[in-house]
């Protein structure tokens, strides 16, 4: 079982790392393309990544312990099999099959040659399912066959070349039967895909919903939160770059953060028609639904709300960092101050978390407090307000 469990566990680990780095870019991409975050498309796309990793690792792992694989084999070892349907002869070896005795048919499932072909058939069958989702029309079945054959050929060549020279001899067999069974599996997967994909909305329905949301001019709360996170991320990157080239302390750090927040969350949207860098990436902007001057004043109110929340965290952090020696007359007061600031910080964190959850799962009935306090709205229309 380790020959199967090891590749799958490896695929899980690599997949988790990829998700960590690709999650936010994927959310940005899907929203920019569709105007919302389709869960079904996310499941299908990320499961496809996991499937490809699993298939690759099942073909290549476990790796030999030494790069000198030639020394581990006989000098006359043949690393390829170019005879089509050789698996039939290999499966029937041993004269176990008696056509007059139906009970002997069950022995087929004990033949290793049969299992190898069946495994290769199943290996690229899901590839046909994924291709059907993206190509939709069954007339493209031949494309699934070409894709399956190409992927299978890549696997076989990778094995034959010892992963392109990493190992000095092939450590697995290049088998033309594997090419055939992989290709057939991909084609069969293409034809049975509708039964598998019936539980997911089609690409056409996703595109229809994207057009509907565009007409409705609706910006979902998760998208607003992602845009705000992008703004803070960009501001923090610039802050760290600035502090790396100047002598800095807590005061200069506070001043630099304040200036960058002012530029990124107030000056830029005022000059850019209600857009920050984050909202521009996510393709929406802020508007008061009234005049441009009122929008600017409300952007200022939004900035104040954000800055007050930031300033409170600065005060809490500063109080927690005050150190007083035990023999000082102010030691007890400093302990109480640190305890109070810690409790205040914890309460603020809990309140913000609950607020964010209520907005995210409020089905559009609530706005984030910084937008609510400024009476600002999100819109995907370019406009001039």
Chain centroid to Cα 159, Å, comes to 29
Rounded Cα distance between 183 and 189, Å, is 10
For 81, phi then psi, to 5°, come to: -135, 110
pLDDT digits (tens, 9 = 90+) for 49-71: 999 999 999 988 888 888 888 88
Q: Would the pLDDT of 17 be above 70? A: yes
The helix/strand/coil state of 36 is coil
Task: Rank 60-64, 298-302, 318-322 by mean pLDDT and report only the highest.
Answer: 298-302
pLDDT: which is higher, 355 or 103:
355
- Give the CA distances from residue 209 to residues 34, 203, 212, 226, in Å, rounded to whole numbers and listed in that order: 8, 10, 5, 21
Q: For 230-280, what is the HEC assignment?
A: HHHHHHHHHHHHHHHHCCCCHHHHHHHHHHHHHHHHHHHHHHCCCCCHHHH
* Mean residue pLDDT across the chain: 85
Bridge partners, 180 (sequence order): none
pLDDT digits (tens, 9 = 90+) for 36-45: 788 889 999 9
pLDDT digits (tens, 9 = 90+) for 229-288: 999 999 999 999 988 887 777 888 899 999 999 999 999 999 998 899 999 998 899 988
Q: Would the pLDDT of 182 be above 80? A: yes
The helix/strand/coil state of 336 is helix
Q: How confident is the model at residue 385 (pLDDT cuts 50, 70, 90)?
A: very low
Rounded Cα distance between 245 and 49, Å, is 40
């Amino acid at each position: 079982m380790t020959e199967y469990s090891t590749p799958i566990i490896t695929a899980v680990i690599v997949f988790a790392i990829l998700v960590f780095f690709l999650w936010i870019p994927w959310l940005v991409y899907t929203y920019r393309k569709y105007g919302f975050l389709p869960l079904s498309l996310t499941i299908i796309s990320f499961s496809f990544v996991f499937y490809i990793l699993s298939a690759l690792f099942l073909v290549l792992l476990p790796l030999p312990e030494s790069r000198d694989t030639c020394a581990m084999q006989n000098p006359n070892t043949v690393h390829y099999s170019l005879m089509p349907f050789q698996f039939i002869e290999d499966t029937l070896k041993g004269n176990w099959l008696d056509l007059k005795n139906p009970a002997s048919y069950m022995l087929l499932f004990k033949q290793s040659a049969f299992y190898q072909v069946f495994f290769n058939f199943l290996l690229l069958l899901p590839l046909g399912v994924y291709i059907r989702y993206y190509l939709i029309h069954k007339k493209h079945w031949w494309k699934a066959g070409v894709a399956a054959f190409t992927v299978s050929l890549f696997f076989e060549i990778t094995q034959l070349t010892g992963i392109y020279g990493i190992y000095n001899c092939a450590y697995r067999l290049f088998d033309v039967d594997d090419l055939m069974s992989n290709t057939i599996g991909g084609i069969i997967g293409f034809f049975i895909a509708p039964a598998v994909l019936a539980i997911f909305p089609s690409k056409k329905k996703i595109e229809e919903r994207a057009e509907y949301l565009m007409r409705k001019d609706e910006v979902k709360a998760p998208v607003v939160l992602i845009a705000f996170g992008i703004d803070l991320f960009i501001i923090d990157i610039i802050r760290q770059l600035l502090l790396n080239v100047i002598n800095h302390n807590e005061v200069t750090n506070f001043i630099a953060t304040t200036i960058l927040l002012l530029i990124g969350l107030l000056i830029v949207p005022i000059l850019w028609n209600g857009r920050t860098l984050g909202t521009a990436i996510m393709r929406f902007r802020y508007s008061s639904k009234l005049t441009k001057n009122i929008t600017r004043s409300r952007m200022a109110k939004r900035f104040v709300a954000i800055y007050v929340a930031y300033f409170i965290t600065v005060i809490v952090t500063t109080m927690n960092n005050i150190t007083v020696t035990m023999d000082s007359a102010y030691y007890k007061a400093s302990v109480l101050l640190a305890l109070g600031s810690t409790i205040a910080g914890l309460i603020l964190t809990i309140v913000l978390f609950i607020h964010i959850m209520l907005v995210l799962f409020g089905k559009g009935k609530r706005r984030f407090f910084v937008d609510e306090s400024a009476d600002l709205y999100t819109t995907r229309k370019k406009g001039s307000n």
